[in-house]
Amino acid sequence: MGSDRQQNLTIKLQKLMQQVGISSFKSLYRSTGTSAHTINKLRSGEIDTLQLQTLAKISSVLKITVTQLIETFGDRSIIGAEDRFSRGEAPPAIEILQQEYQHLHQQFEQQKETLQSEFQYQSLQTLESFLTYFPAAKYAAQHNPDFPASKILPLIGSIDRLIHQWGVTIIGEIGSKIAYDPRWHQLIAGTANPDELVTIRYVGYRQGDKLIFRAKVSN
């Protein structure tokens, strides 16, 4: 009886594999990042012994949901699912996996909040001098029209350090002449063809090959 069930589940698994172009069990466990032992458990109907992360990997590769995977390979005769399905209830295996999923989701959200908080804290630490002295410089400028702008320039250094830590590169230098490249430059006055010289009016920024915003140029 057990071998018949295993053969039946193996056929079901092979059909699912064929639908996504996987020709062997070896290819399946390599594609899912699992092991032959894990796939054998699936074929034997021991799906309730596998972790949610493992089921998620397998279902993703087979292009079905975790619930469909459980319903296909779970042993309903053992977990009494048929009777529970008739009452509109989920089988214990699914309940356990749902609880595990909720627990993992909560952990992820907590980790995300912690990482975001740490990121913000480190960024503010880098901006310490700016946050400390800029309000005083702003106050002086508002109350003294002759306050020299040059005194504010040293405060900008902390911002430069921050964007450098993030791997951000400045595109262009104000007033410089550069060959026009529509990928990195936005023409705000006049006309220009690619590679013609234009003047940088406002710098742009990029992070590696990813554009943040273009430098504004004119001919």
Domains of the chain, CATH where assigned: 2-89 (1.10.260), 168-219 (2.30.22.10)
- Sheet hosting strand 210-213, strand order edge to edge: 168-171, 204-207, 210-213
- Return d(Cα 52, Cα 104) in angstroms, integer: 9
Give the pLDDT of residue 82.
42
Predicted local confidence at residue 48, as pLDDT: 80
pLDDT of residue 24: 92
The pLDDT, as a whole number, for residue 106 is: 80
**Per-residue pLDDT at 84:** 46
Mapped onto helix, strand or coil, the DSSP state of residue 90 is coil
**Which pLDDT value is given to residue 80?**
43
Q: Interior CA angle at 84 toward 81 and 87, to 5°?
A: 150
Tell me the C-alpha distance between 33 and 114, whole Å: 28
- Provide the pLDDT for residue 87: 46
For the chain of 219 residues, list the mean pLDDT of each consecutive stretch of 10: 79 92 91 91 86 85 86 60 46 62 78 81 75 73 78 76 82 91 92 93 87 90
Q: Which two tokens stand for residue 92?
A: 């214990």
In what order do the strands lie in the sheet containing 197-202? 177-179, 197-202, 215-218, 185-189
Number of residues that this document lists for the chain: 219
Q: Write down the pLDDT at residue 108.
A: 79
User: What b-and-e string marks burial along 110-140, b requiring 16 or more CB atoms within 10 Å of the CB?
Assistant: eeeeeeeeeeeeeeeebbeebeeebeebeee
